[in-house]
Amino acid sequence: MSKGICLSLSICIAFTTSVFSQGTATPRQPAREGVAGANALLQEAATLRGLRVLRPVRSGTKTRAEIEAIIIKDFNESQSASETEADRKLLVAFRLIPQDFRYREFLVSLLTEQVAGFYESKTKEFFLADWNDPAMVKPVIIHELTHALQDQHFDLSRFEKWPRGDADRELAVHALIEGDATAVMFNYVLKPSGLDVTKLPMLINELSDAMGVDAGSEREKVLASAPPAIRETLLFPYTFGAGFAQQVLRRANWAGLSRAFTDLPQSTEQILHADKYFAREAPLKPVPGDPTGVLGPEWKRVTQDVNGEFGYFVILSGEMAKADAQKATAGWGGDRCVLYENTRTGQTILVHLSEWDSATDATEFFAAYSQRISKHYQSASTTVANGRRYADSRSLSFIERRAQKVLVIESLPTTLEGTLNKLVSTLWQ
């Protein structure tokens, strides 16, 4: 699934700080006063994180309009218009957003609404949104100054232009960065009580309790209206990232979390299950065969990516209970999804090949994804060997399991129905 909203800015979103805030509107003075005391808070963040301050950090405040301009600029620099459009088409193909969804514009609005502060590794500066609630000011500053310390010791600039084609790993690294900063922010708030994140129950639960959004709140209108896939992808680095940081801290302290910036998490699976990170359970890399020779010269590849365990969870949880989606995706081993488009008609075909830890895990995913496909076809499925075929007057979809792998073809035009057997054979090669 598309990375969607992993930009090069290291941000603190209002969601994470709503744990400490009553959500009331305030004048800009508290933000300005907080920034004025940033040097003292930088040392506080360094002490909490166990990292030395190597250089001062410039800071300031930004208005909503200024932050929107920065987000747009970052979008333009980190991702081309064609890349963003390819991401949009992939989300549409997975039925995660409507066909006419104004994807880029929505992401700008969502981040403008939710950004409470951000650190920019290019300029070595952090900025605070000047509309922050008083209770949020210092936690946000601590969060952003932790990013500054990360940059000073681990060089965050190396993550600014992530190679396309493995959004799952990019999201995992983003979760490391934001989870680390969120854990430090929690420790700052918990310090007067003598607690820290290692002494809490699962930190993910603390943040998940705050996931309910209020559509009537001026600060959460866009977040409340976001398609679930976009909302959950935005929140993943903070919620599950904080849970990952907590598990690493319990096992290896802050030194272990620092080592993770060298020995990076390889997948969202490792973020969701820290034991798999410590076991170095690397993702598998199944690759479907190239079907363009079967489809014909009008068909071109638009984009390819990795869904990952979290991506498949998001895809399935939109159609079934989250507990069922979680069970169906827990045995993820690796995957590759590819989107093809007809350059004349604009029709798309979605292909994804996944590999699972066992045949049992593959069977569970096969059953869950078959259930998802069936909801979009009125007629009953046709059983074909180890697979199922779904069709209507416009398109057909096909899913097949072979041992520990599952192949899915979605939205194949009925005009290409006669190529299905050859297409399946090619994709399995």
Residue 357 structure tokens:
């830890």
pLDDT in tens, 223-258: 899 999 999 999 999 999 999 999 999 999 999 999
128 forms beta bridges with 61, 117
Cβ atoms within 10 A of the Cβ of 378, count? 8
Q: What is the pLDDT of residue 7?
A: 59
- Where are the CATH 3.40.1000.70 domain residues in the chain? 292-428
At residue 170, does pLDDT exceed 70?
yes
Q: Could you tell me which of 68, 81, 92, 77 has the C-alpha nearest to residue 2?
A: 92
Q: For residue 105, which phi and psi values (nearest 5 degrees)?
A: -60, -40
CA 352 – CA 65 distance, rounded (Å): 40
- Are the C-beta atoms of residues 31 and 61 closer than 8 Å to each other? yes
Give the least confident one: 121-130, 131-140, 225-234: 131-140
pLDDT band at 19 (very low <50, low <70, confident <90, very high): low
Tell me which CATH homologous superfamily contains domain 292-428: PknH-like extracellular domain (3.40.1000.70)
pLDDT band at 32 (very low <50, low <70, confident <90, very high): confident
At residue 324, does pLDDT exceed 60?
yes
337 forms beta bridges with 305, 352
CA of residue 126 relative to chain centroid, distance: 23
Average pLDDT over residues 119-132: 90
With 0-12 / 13-18 / 19 or more C-beta atoms within 10 angstroms meaning exposed / middle / buried, residue 367 is middle
- Are the C-beta atoms of residues 406 and 366 closer than 8 Å to each other? yes
At residue 22, does pLDDT exceed 80?
no
What is the share, in percent, of the chain residues with pLDDT greater than 90? 76
pLDDT band at 16 (very low <50, low <70, confident <90, very high): low
Q: What is the pLDDT of residue 413?
A: 97
At residue 24, does pLDDT exceed 60?
no
Give the least confident one: 28-42, 305-319, 348-362: 28-42
Q: What is the pLDDT of residue 132?
A: 82
- Are the C-beta atoms of residues 116 and 220 closer than 8 Å to each other? no
Q: What is the pLDDT of residue 25?
A: 46
Q: Which residue carries 């993910």 as its tokens?
A: 204
pLDDT in tens, 43-64: 999 999 999 999 999 999 999 8
CA 429 – CA 405 distance, rounded (Å): 12
* β-strands 125-129, 115-120 pairing: antiparallel
> H helices then E strands: how many in the chain?
18, 11
